[in-house]
């Protein structure tokens, strides 16, 4: 059987006006047995649906802040969003859910998925959520800096089979109010939501930390990528 094709949301560079990609997103998928392809930055539904037809799963990557307009708030001054990404990813997420395609969200991915499905975000953690937990580490980014508790009745616990892991962390926005259709599957020691999932969906997980930086060393990161790609493989087997 051919490898699952995973559609990867592009990163955008405002200064250079160019799309780009962190190799860890691609390499984590490849190591797990998938074939990654980066989407263009477009919002045309017809073209996006054509692209999604060839994909067995969708990865929502990190990058720009999610616009507070998605959850009806006025942006803080230090919020840097990308309307093109927000518009495109709303189309992609809606279609992925409708067609039961596997979805994995990382960093911005968890924030976007939560906001797009009716939740809210902390626009800026240093301003809105005082904590001693390090959520914005310095390089290297493959080193864990805080702990995460995994809820025992969650999909993530079934995958990792542990109730506590060490993770890396680099973000200034985060999940505030969880979307009504989503469930929490991981939290940091300070109570911040670090993982969510959509029950009844084939595979829709989103995490706040960065397996694309730690997958070479960290077994848990490898297991997350593999669970995602394997879910895409189950889609391919039905075609």
For residue 90, the model assigns a pLDDT of: 98
3-state secondary structure of 47: helix
The torsion angles phi and psi of 99, rounded to 5 degrees, stand at -100, 5
* pLDDT tens, residue by residue, 71-96: 999 999 999 999 999 999 999 999 99
Instruction: Kindly list the distances between the CA atom of residue 187 and the CA atoms of 27, 55, 167, 196, in Å, as whole numbers in the listed order.
Output: 27, 30, 11, 9
Enzyme catalytic residues:
107, 210, 212
Extended strands (E) in 61-155: 103-106, 121-122, 146-150
> What is the DSSP code (8-state) at residue 71?
G
**What is the spatial distance between Cα 111 and Cα 67, in angstroms, rounded to a whole number?**
10
User: Mean per-residue pLDDT for 110-115?
Assistant: 98
61-75, 142-156, 181-195, 223-237: the lowest-pLDDT one: 223-237
Note the pLDDT tens digit of each residue in 193-226: 999 999 999 999 999 999 999 999 999 999 999 9
What is the average pLDDT score of the chain? 96
pLDDT at 50 over 90: yes
Containing structural domain, residue 83:
5-238
How many structural domains is the chain composed of? 1
Read off the pLDDT band of 236 (50, 70, 90): low
Instruction: Say what the pLDDT of residue 35 is.
Output: 98
With CA atoms as reference, report the closest residue to 219 among 149, 162, 140.
Answer: 162
Model pTM score: 0.97
Beta-carbon contacts of residue 23 (< 8 Å; ≥ 6 apart): none
Cis peptide before 211 (omega within 30 of 0): no
Query: Whose structure tokens read 């706040």?
Result: 208
CATH number at residue 38: 3.40.50.880
* pLDDT at 1 (0 to 100): 73
């Amino acid at each position: 059987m051919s490898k699952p094709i995973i559609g990867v949301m592009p990163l955008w560079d405002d200064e250079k006006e160019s799309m780009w990609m962190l190799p860890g997103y691609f390499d984590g998928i490849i190591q797990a047995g998938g074939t990654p392809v980066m989407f263009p930055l477009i919002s045309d539904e017809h073209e996006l649906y054509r692209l999604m037809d060839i994909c067995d799963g969708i990865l929502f990557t990190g990058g720009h802040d999610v616009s507070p307009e998605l959850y009806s708030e006025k942006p803080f001054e230090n919020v840097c969003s990308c309307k093109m990404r927000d518009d495109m990813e709303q189309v992609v997420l809606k279609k992925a859910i409708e067609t039961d395609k596997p979805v994995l969200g990382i960093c911005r991915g968890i924030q976007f998925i939560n906001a797009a499905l009716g939740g809210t975000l902390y626009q800026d953690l240093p301003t809105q959520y005082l904590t001693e937990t390090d959520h914005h580490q310095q390089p290297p980014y493959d080193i864990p800096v805080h702990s995460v508790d995994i809820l025992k009745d969650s999909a993530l616990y079934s995958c990792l089979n542990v109730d506590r892991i060490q993770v890396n962390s680099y973000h200034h926005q985060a999940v505030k109010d969880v979307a009504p259709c989503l469930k929490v599957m991981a939290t940091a020691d300070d109570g911040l939501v670090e993982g969510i999932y959509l029950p009844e969906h084939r595979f829709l997980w989103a995490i706040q930390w960065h397996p694309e930086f730690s997958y070479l060393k960290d077994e848990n990161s490898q297991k997350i990528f593999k669970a995602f790609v394997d879910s895409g493989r189950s889609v391919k087997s039905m075609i």
